[in-house]
Amino acid sequence: MELNPLNDLYFMKEALKEAQKAFDLNEVPVGCVIVCENKIISRSHNQTHRLNDATAHAEVIAITAASGYLGSKYLSDCTMYVTLEPCIMCAGAAYWAQFKKIVFGARDLNRGYLSLPKSILHPKTEVVRNILSNQSTKLLHDFFKNKR
């Protein structure tokens, strides 16, 4: 049996590269990649300060790019990898995109969608948690430590 190197760990490492870009640009370090058929079709990081746009979260930018790439508002054959649990806004966008799967690293106990009493993701969306969560959490911790 051949081992597939393109797995959740591989793609989450790519999302972490995006988070590092955000960190280096003094943005909250969240990164996202969207994958379809083992190919990254979009990647982004938070850009709220650079774009002066409160909605310029990594997930929203990546969803827009992936939809443009596929020519479809539905991403039902795609997986979104994001370093931080999506906030309620991003989870809502993911609902409308109808992802096959969402994989995230660190939990967001303050603003994450899991804080809601009922999931707002599409019922067919599979969720995988805590992939490279320590690395994601460390990047966020280091960012906010430098802000204090």
Catalytic residues: 59
Buried b (16+ CB within 10 A) or exposed e, 32-68: bbbbbeeebbbbbbbbbeeeeeeebbbbbbbbebbbe
Say which residues have a Cβ less than 8 Å from residue 73's Cβ, sequence separation at least 6: 67, 96, 97
Q: How far is CA 116 from the centre of its chain?
A: 18
Are the C-beta atoms of 115 and 141 separated by less than 8 Å?
no
